[in-house]
Chains A and B, each alone.
Chain A
Amino acid sequence: MQEHETVLDVEGVAVAFDGRPVLRGVGLQLRRGELVSLLGASGGGKTTLFNVIAGLLPADAGRVLLQGRDITGQSGQVSYMMQKDLLLESMRVADNVGLPLRLRGASKAQARAEAEALLPRFGLADAGQLWPAQLSGGMRQRAALARTYLFSREVMLLDEPFSALDAFTKAEMHQWFAQARQQLGLSVLLVTHDIDEAVLLSNRVLVLRDGAIAGEVAVARPAAEDFSLTEQFLEAKRAVKALLA
Chain B
Amino acid sequence: MKRFAKNYLPAAAAVLAVLLLWQLLATSGAVPSYMLPSPADVLAVFPADTPLLFSHSLVTLQEAALGLAAGVTAGFAIAVVMDAFALLRRAIYPLLVLSQTVPVVAIAPLLVLWLGYDIAPKVVLVALVTFFPIAVGLLQGFQSVDPDEVALMRSMGASRWQIFRFVKIPGALPEFFSGLRIAVAYAVVGAVISEWLGGFNGLGVYMTRVQKAFAFDRMFAVIFVISALSLLLMLLVGLAERKSMPWRRGRGEKE
Contacts and interface: CB of A to CB of B under 8 A. Distances in A.
Contacts of B167: 88
A75 B158 CA distance: 9
A89 B171 CA distance: 9
Contact of A88 (B151, B154, B170, B245): B170
B156 A151 contact: yes
Nearest to B154: A75
A151 B155 CA distance: 10
Given A131-B247, A133-B250, A82 B148 contact: yes
Interface size classification for chain B:
20 to 34
A104 B162 CA distance: 10
Contact of A133 (B148, B153, B170, B251): B251
A1 interface: no
Contacts of A88: 149, 166-167, 170
A82 B152 contact: yes
A107 interface: no
Interface in B108-160: 146, 148-149, 151-158
B148 A86 contact: yes
- Interface class of chain B by DSSP: helix
Interface in A27-50: none
Nearest to A151: B156
Contacts of B153: 103
A175 interface: no
A56 interface: yes
Given A90-B170, A99-B166, A133-B250, A54 B245 contact: no
Nearest to A152: B156
Given A100-B156, A133-B251, A84 B148 contact: yes
Interface in A71-111: 75-77, 79-80, 82, 84, 86, 88-91, 99-100, 102-104
A134 interface: yes
Contacts of A90: 170-171, 173, 245, 247
Candidate in A76, A79, A90, A99 with the most chain B CB atoms within 10 angstroms? A90
Contacts of B158: 76, 103
B250 A103 contact: no
A55 interface: yes
Given A86-B148, A131-B247, A75 B157 contact: yes
A108 to B, nearest CB: 11
A77 B155 CA distance: 8
A185 B246 CA distance: 37
B247 A76 contact: no
Contacts of A99: 156, 166
Contacts of B162: 103
A80 B245 contact: no
Nearest to A55: B155
Closest 9 CB pairs of A and B: A76-B157, A90-B170, A80-B155, A131-B247, A54-B155, A86-B152, A103-B158, A75-B154, A100-B156
Interface of B: 146, 148-149, 151-158, 162, 166-167, 170-171, 173, 245-247, 250-251
21 contacts: A56-B154, A56-B155, A75-B154, A76-B157, A80-B155, A86-B149, A88-B167, A89-B170, A89-B247, A90-B173, A90-B245, A91-B247, A99-B166, A102-B166, A103-B156, A103-B158, A103-B162, A131-B246, A132-B247, A133-B251, A134-B250
